[in-house]
Amino acid sequence: MRVKTDEGFEDLRAIWMEDENIKMIDQRLLPHELRFHTVSDHHEVKEAIKKMVIRGAPSIGAAAAYGIAQAILKGDDLKETAEVIKSARPTAYDLFYAVDHMMENGQEKPKITAEAYVDSVVSKCKAIGDHGGKMIDDGMKILTHCNAGALATVDHGTALAPIRHANSEGKDIFVFVDETRPRLQGSMLTAWELFNEDISHAVIVDNAAGHFMHRGEVDMVIVGTDRVAANGDVANKIGTYEKAVIAKENDIPFYVALPVTTFDPDTKSGTDIPIEEREGEEVSKVFSKYIMPKNSPVMNPAFDVTLSKYITGFITEKGIFSPDKIGKLL
C-alpha cells in the first residue's frame, strides 16, 4: 500500500517476517502514528490478533501463518502453538485456514511456506481488484463499511481493491466511509488508506448510510467478510447487515469481496458462524473516557450475519459470482 511520508511515498505491507521476527503496522495507532510492532513468539501473535494490533480476516490469517512458521523455526510445541493462535479470535475463517495450511505444509520450509501463503493472499486481492474494478464506472459513488483495505489483507484489500483498481485507471470515483463504531476502523483506517492514495472520500457516521442511500447518492456497496457459510450467508463487521437491508430496499447492488479461502464449506449457514463478543469498554469509553454511566451494561458483538438474499454478488479472485453459484465455486 502506498503511504505518504515526509520524503514522498513508501510502499508497505501490513505484516511481514524479518529473520525469526514478525513485524506489523500497529493498527491501534493509526491514523496518528505509523509505528511497527514486533512479535517474537506465538503468545505474542495471539495477543497482537486479540488486541487488534493486526486485524481484518486475511491479515489475521497472515499473522497466524507467520506465527506457525516462527514456532517451527524455534522448535516450539506445534500442537500447543496452533491451539493458542486459533484461540485469538473466533470469527475470521482465515485464521483457522492459515494455521491448518501451515501445519500440513510448513514443516520442512516454514518461512518459505508462510511467505508463499501470504504472497498468494496478496495476489488474490490484486485479482479481486481487477475483477471488481471493471464493475465500477466513471463517476460512481461507493459505500464501504469497516476496513477491508490493505491493512486488513496485507496489501490491496478486498473491498478496497476494486476501488484502488478503478482509481488507478483514472476513473473519477467517490467513497462513503462508514466510521464503524465502536473501533472506528472506517474513520481511522479506511479513510487513512484512501487519503494516502488520494482517492476522493468522506467519513460518515454509521447512522447516515441509510440517509445517503435513500437520497440516491450511493451507486454500490462493497464490503469485506470474515467468513462465508456454505449457503452464502456472510459474517462481517457489526452493522453490515443493516447496510445490506437498506441497500436492497433502495435497489443498490451490495457486493462482498473476498478470497475464496474465506468461504467455510463446513459451516452450513450464518447462524452457525461464531460471533465474537468483545469487551464492553470498547463501547463505554472513547479514548479512555467514559461516554456513558460507568455501571450501565454494554453488549458488544463484533460481527453480524448478512443473509445471502441481500447479496448481489461475491467478488473473488476467480471472478464475480451470485450467491446461488457458490456450490460451483467451491
Q: Tell me the catalytic residues.
A: 226
Nearer Cβ to ligand MRU (152/326): 152
Shortest CB 74 distance to ligand MRU, Å: 27
What is the C-alpha separation between 176 and 73, in angstroms, rounded?
44
Q: Binding residue for ligand MRU (CB under 6 A) from 81, 158, 167, 267?
A: 158
Ramachandran angles phi, psi of 204, nearest 5°: -125, 155
Going from the C-alpha of 197 to that of each of 15, 56, 159, the distances in angstroms are 19, 20, 15
The phi, psi pair for 88, rounded to 5°, reads: -65, -50
Q: State in angstroms the smallest separation of the CB of 227 from ligand MRU.
A: 9
Do 147 and 189 touch, CB atoms closer than 8 A?
Answer: yes
Q: Does 148 bind ligand MRU (CB under 6 A)?
A: yes
Question: Exactly one of 41, 42, 56, 110 binds ligand MRU (CB under 6 A); which one?
Answer: 56
Cα–Cα nearest to 220, from 132, 306, 304 = 132
- Minimum CB separation of residue 82 from ligand MRU in Å reads 20
Confirm or reject binding of residue 237 to ligand MRU (CB under 6 A). yes
Q: Based on C-alpha coordinates, what's the Rg of the chain?
A: 19
Tell me the per-residue interface mask from 66 to 105 with ligand MRU, x by CB under 6 A, - otherwise: --------------------------x-------------
Is 56 or 110 the residue whose CB approaches ligand MRU more closely? 56
Residue of 13, 37, 55, 165 that binds ligand MRU (CB under 6 A):
55
Phi-psi category of 203—alpha, beta or left, where left has phi over 0 and alpha has psi -120 to 50? Answer: beta
Residue with cell 500440513: 104
Instruction: Give, as ranges, the residues between 287 and 316 that touch ligand MRU (CB under 6 A).
Output: 302
37 touching ligand MRU, by CB under 6 A:
no
Of 49-57, 207-215, 244-252, 305-313, the segment contacting ligand MRU by CB under 6 A is 49-57
Closest alpha carbon to 118 in 66, 74, 161? 66
CB of 151 to ligand MRU, least distance (A): 9
Nearer to ligand MRU, 42 or 183 (CB): 183
Coil, strand or helix at 253: coil
Residue nearest to ligand MRU (CB): 224
Contact 64, 45 (CB under 8 A): yes
CA distance 102 to 196: 33
- CA dist 65 and 44 (Å) reads 14
Residues at the site binding ligand MRU, with contacts judged by CB under 6 A: 55-58, 92, 146, 148, 152-153, 158, 185, 224-226, 236-237, 302
